[in-house]
Amino acid sequence: KACKFAGCGKGARGASGLCIAHGGGRRCQKDGCSKGAEGRTAYCKAHGGGRRCQTLGCTKSAEGKTDLCIGHGGGRRCAYEGCTKAARGRSGLCIKHGGGKRCQHEGCTKSAEGLSGLCISHGGGRRCQVPGCTKGAQGSTMFCKAHGGGKRCMIEGCGKGAEGSTPLCKGHGGGKRCMFEGGGICPKSVHGGTQFCVAHGGGKRCAVQDCSKSARGRTAFCVKHGGGKRCKTEGCGKSAQGSTDFCKAHGGGKRCTWGQEGSLYGPREGSSELSKGPCDRFARGKLGLCAAHSSIVQEEKASG
């Protein structure tokens, strides 16, 4: 018997006259769930029904004609040469190689998230619930990484998001590390879709021919060729420094903290003209002082 639902050609299940997708057959016995029960069990896949993955300690459902879940190699695999990831949809390819639903935004090739038909970057999937934030929610939380969503770094006192399948943030060694000369040599994290850190060729590179430097920000160029943030001063084409919107010549970058409000370092009684404040020179090193004032502090420490 065919399903009675208008336009559906699937086979009807049980006395309902409907296919499983439209409510026919046995239903999951979990309170509030309306999905179809799997196999000889009374529950759907999400609630433990059907065949389970045979990998020790795994509770996920087996996929396709295999005895393993997708994560442990079950189901159809990507047809792209050398790829072992799971295939998505009818394409026979994984998400990275074009499988599954794609973003409907013009010119975008990323995968669509949720029912919106858009990728996370263009508004698809669940969004962060913090007022004014448009980023995608992370993991099973209702917030983006910046607002506390997703897995957090396990190091005490660190509130940053954990990277990849690790329990640590990038700063504490989480995520994938640089594979320079086979890995184990460079401890830095990888950038972009590459297997290397920025210093060893990872991430986006400058689009200028024969330039091997990394592209900055959302641009396709390195700092030298106009990439990254630029100085907001009219007529200035230099790059903005630090967290400011201006180049060094127009007041950007970190300034010496000598004599500044709240600073640990300041003028001394009977001191020379150099040690008076506040100072507007550029900060150098970890002390947050310019070269001249850093020397004064180092001399004082040496003399006790």
DSSP codes, 70-109: GGGT-S-B--STT--SBPBTTTTB-TTTT-S-B--STT--
Which residues of the chain, if any, have pLDDT below 70? 268-277
Reference 264, options 231, 301, 234; nearest CA is: 301
Residues in the chain: 304
Q: Report pLDDT for 273.
A: 63
Cα atoms found within 13 Å of the Cα of residue 225, Cβ hemisphere only: 16
Residue 254 vs residues 8, 163, 223: alpha-carbon distances, Å: 66, 29, 18
Spatial distance between the Cα atoms of 37 and 48, rounded to a whole number of angstroms: 10
Radius of gyration of the chain, Cα coordinates, nearest whole angstrom: 29
Spatial distance between the Cα atoms of 113 and 59, rounded to a whole number of angstroms: 25
Contact 189, 176 (CB under 8 A): yes
Token pair listed for 175: 């995520």
Q: Report pLDDT for 271.
A: 59
Spatial distance between the Cα atoms of 301 and 172, rounded to a whole number of angstroms: 31
Spatial distance between the Cα atoms of 300 and 222, rounded to a whole number of angstroms: 41
Domain ranges across the chain: 153-203, 204-253, 254-303
Residue 186 vs residues 14, 38, 216: alpha-carbon distances, Å: 61, 48, 22
Contact 35, 24 (CB under 8 A): no
CB atoms within 10 A of CB 15: 8
* 3-state SS assignment for residue 54: coil
Q: What angle do CA 63, 68, 74 make, to 5 degrees?
A: 60
Spatial distance between the Cα atoms of 301 and 123, rounded to a whole number of angstroms: 55
